[in-house]
Amino acid sequence: MSTLTTTLPGQAPGPVERAAPTGPARVGPIEGLRHTATLSWRSLVQIKHNPMELLDFSVQPLMFLLLFTYVFGGAIAGSTGDYLTFALPGLMVQNTLFTTLNTGVGLNNDLTKGVFDRLRSLPIARSAPLAGRIVADMVKQTWAIAMMLGLGYILGFRVRTGPLDALAAFGLIILFALAISWASVLVGMLVSEPEKVMVFGFTLIFPLTFISNAFVQTSTMPGWLQAFVKINPVTALADATRGLLSSGPVATPVWHTLLWAAGIAAVFAPLAVNAFKRKV
Amino acid sequence: MLHTMTVTDTHGAPAIVAEGLVKKFGETTALAGIDLEVPAGTVFGLLGPNGAGKTTAVRVLATLLAADAGTALVGGYDVRHDSHRVRRIVGLTGQYASVDELLTGTENLVMIGRLLGLPRSEAKARARELLAEFNLADAAGRSAKTYSGGMRRRLDLAASLVGRPRVLFLDEPTTGLDPRSRNDMWEVVRNLVADGVTVLLTTQYLEEADLLADDIAVVDHGRIIAQGSPEELKKQTGAQTLAVRPADPADTALVETTVAEIVGASPTVAGNLVSVRVTDPAVLPAVVRRLDDAGVTVGEITLRSSSLDEVFLALTGHPATDESAPATVAQDGPADDDPAARIPAAARS
Ligand SMILES: Nc1ncnc2c1ncn2[C@@H]1O[C@H](COP(=O)(O)OP(=O)(O)O)[C@@H](O)[C@H]1O
Ligand SMILES: [Mg+2]
């Protein structure tokens, strides 16, 4: 032991017995993807044991769809059929945005319940707990949108464009949700308990989705509100989804949505990653 | 000199070396310069009351927390600069169970096996093996939120063993466990050491450190205030208390002088019970013999381990109490089946 403590001139007393480097010092990219896949699997398997969650992201959107169509449809658009055509894209957008909160809630749960500590003590990619959660949430999002479209179809909604346009609509919604997820991640990393993510998210996302043209035409609102509706990214996304699924302009709202998504991600992704790194 | 760089795990080389670890949380100094050296294949006990800095030390050594100053090598790898390699050889069971409550016992362990690169079938086999070993086979398919506190602890420990770590950190592994579960946990630690694993455990129980550890460091306010083998420590602190009660109360004075003479310290007398802290257990037969020679019939004579409180008093002159959570709370322990007792306050809702 004493022979191993060596002090070279001009060097601080060296720590003893440094091991020879065996094995890589970091995680390779392929390995990192595998860790992400395993942790996404974990998030999805959780659903099996938590029926409430299944209810949350399956039944709830369907209920909203039925409520809006049959309760408000007649009053807002004159007929439930017309309203469905107008509102289904909006409802898909609204549901997706609310669901992004789950990302923050889930991460906060992992943080406060000690699961992150367990994961951090393992030789896995630092980003995997975050990436795994996000990937799993995207899968759930896609599932929820597909279910809404399926029920919409039963109720009489028809895709009047092509399958590629419909796919593009899916992709655009998911992409925008991904951008918003970064804000959700940031909040999830900063607050002390999962419920606070919900409170924070609702106060932000409620006005954002309702003061848009997701459910009603912009022209029916007072002028001062229209000003906000027109610049609201949710309006752009709802318009783009309508255009891609049934009819209406496509290019402009799609570009607006993409720009917004890029802007939101540019602001929140670095903040969220930073907060995550500080905790993980 | 060059050969120093190629030493990996020669026998007797320290598995853990820490030098001058300092960690501050705002105004609180959790670690005020900790030096440790744990030889490979041994059990090291960090003994201290609540708030002493045990968890912080473990988190630094297990790469979860960066120290403000000082260095630490685990398995020869620097915890800060070579953290990935450290993580490949360590296992950590934190003070609070960190299992995924929404997964079953099996799923929890399979997830970790997969993360460690085991193929699916091997991960499943390893999970089965560990669940059987930790008496969780019957609950393997139930989600962990239905587990009792003791079961969660065991699952958490199993989780830290999936990768067969060479160095294992156990942060208060038995706090709050019932005596039987505590014994089981001790058995697990002994088996691991028999397999060559190096174990660093923290505890608030002197008895536990005494039973399990080859070396003990007593921590107080982020500082090591005493260190050595259990024997050395007991010598230093008078870790045992001798109590004698004569059958005839009239003999009390004689007992007192005899004990004082042999032990070399003045005993306290309560009624007809004469007690004194001793460093050498050999005084017991000596006292028995002398009293016998003097014709005193002894009604009761005991030599018991001092409590952590008594050791602290001997070492520091102040009792081992903490403003936030007195050690006695942990000692009377919450019931084993109270899971809330093992969830950090922040997680309770
Ligand atoms: N994350 C933290 N933030 C602020 N203070 C902390 C934190 N972790 C520990 N401490 C403080 O550091 C001290 C040592 O804590 P800890 O290492 O948990 O002690 P032990 O495990 O011995 O009970 C305590 O005073 C505790 O309050
Ligand atoms: Mg602790």
Over the stretch A54-76, which tens digit does the pLDDT of each residue have? Answer: 787 788 888 989 999 999 888 88
SS3 B91: strand
DSSP H or E segment with residue B103: none
Q: What is the pLDDT of residue B309?
A: 65
Give per-residue pLDDT as tens, B137-195.
999 999 999 999 889 999 999 999 999 999 999 999 998 888 888 898 999 999 999 99
The number of residues making up chain B comes to 349
A17 Cβ contact list (under 8 Å, min separation 6): A4, B4, B7, B13, B14, B17, B73, B76
Identify the weakest region by mean pLDDT among A166-180, A206-220, B107-121, B317-331: B317-331
Q: What is the pLDDT of residue A185?
A: 95
- Record: contact A23-B88, CB cut-off 8 A: yes
- Record: contact B4-A18, CB cut-off 8 A: yes
Please tell me the number of Cα atoms within 13 Å of B81 on its side-chain side.
10
Query: pLDDT band at residue A81, thresholds of 50, 70 and 90?
Result: confident
pLDDT at B240 over 90: no
Give the C-alpha separation, A235 to A97, whole Å.
Answer: 13
Give the C-alpha separation, B51 to B323, whole Å.
Answer: 9
Alpha carbon distances (Å) from A270 to A29, A183, A196, A200, A264: 20, 10, 22, 20, 10
Tokens 């990619």 label which residue?
A: A125
In CATH, the architecture of B16-233 is 3-Layer(aba) Sandwich (3.40)
Return the residue of B nearest to A114 by Cα.
B98
In CATH, the architecture of B237-316 is 2-Layer Sandwich (3.30)
Pocket-testing residue among B21, B25, B65, B95, ligand 1, by greatest number of atoms within 8 A of Cβ: B25
Give the C-alpha separation, A52 to A32, whole Å.
Answer: 31
Query: pLDDT band at residue B322, thresholds of 50, 70 and 90?
Result: very low
Pairing of strands B167-171, B90-93: parallel
Identify the weakest region by mean pLDDT among A17-21, A88-92, B69-73, B111-115: A17-21
Dihedral (CA of B224, B226, B229, B233) sign: negative
Whole-number Å distance, alpha carbon A187 to ligand 1 midpoint, is 24
Give per-residue pLDDT as tens, A90-145.
999 999 999 999 999 999 999 998 999 999 999 999 999 999 999 999 999 999 99
Query: pLDDT band at residue A202, thresholds of 50, 70 and 90?
Result: confident
Q: What is the pLDDT of residue A181?
A: 94
Query: How large is the greatest C-alpha to C-alpha distance in chain B, in angstroms?
Result: 76
- Closest ligand by atom to B172 CA: 2
Q: What is the pLDDT of residue A236?
A: 95
- Closest ligand by atom to B27 CA: 1
Tokens 């065991």 label which residue?
A: B154
As a whole number of Å, the CA-based R_g of chain A is 23
Mean per-residue pLDDT for A162-181?
95
Question: Which segments of chain B belong to CATH 3.30.70?
Answer: 237-316
Whole-number Å distance, alpha carbon B115 to ligand 2 midpoint, is 27
Query: pLDDT band at residue A19, thresholds of 50, 70 and 90?
Result: low
pLDDT at B10 over 90: no
Question: Which segments of chain B belong to CATH 3.40.50.300?
Answer: 16-233
Give the C-alpha separation, B200 to A214, whole Å.
Answer: 58
Give per-residue pLDDT as tens, A94-105.
999 999 999 999
pTM across the whole model: 0.81
- E strand spans, B116-247: 167-171, 198-203, 215-220, 223-228, 240-246
Distance of CA A58 to the CA centre of its chain: 16
C-beta atoms surrounding A177 within 10 Å: 26
Tokens coding B33: 């310069």
pLDDT at B335 over 60: no
pLDDT at B341 over 60: no
DSSP label of B104:
B
Pocket-testing residue among B56, B169, B203, B221, ligand 1, by greatest number of atoms within 8 A of Cβ: B56
Considering only CB atoms, B97 lies closest to which of A6, A46, A114, namely A114
Best of B42, B71, B87, B98 to mutate (most A CBs within 10 Å, chain A): B98
Give the C-alpha separation, B215 to B102, whole Å.
Answer: 39
A92 Cβ contact list (under 8 Å, min separation 6): A145, A148, A149, A173, A241
Pocket-testing residue among B55, B58, B221, B324, ligand 1, by greatest number of atoms within 8 A of Cβ: B55
Residue B52 beta carbon below 6 angstroms from any ligand 1 atom: yes
- Record: contact B99-A115, CB cut-off 8 A: yes
Mean per-residue pLDDT for A224-244?
94
B24 Cβ contact list (under 8 Å, min separation 6): B30, B68
SS3 B90: strand
Query: pLDDT band at residue B8, thresholds of 50, 70 and 90?
Result: very low
- Record: contact B98-A19, CB cut-off 8 A: no
Considering only CB atoms, A113 lies closest to which of B63, B84, B347, namely B347
Residue B54 beta carbon below 6 angstroms from any ligand 1 atom: yes
Return the residue of B nearest to A191 by Cα.
B346
**Position in ligand 1 atom list of the atom nearest CA B31:** 14
Considering only CB atoms, B100 lies closest to which of A20, A34, A115, namely A115
Give the C-alpha separation, B19 to B72, whole Å.
Answer: 6
Determine phi and psi for A117, rounding to 5 degrees. Answer: -60, -45
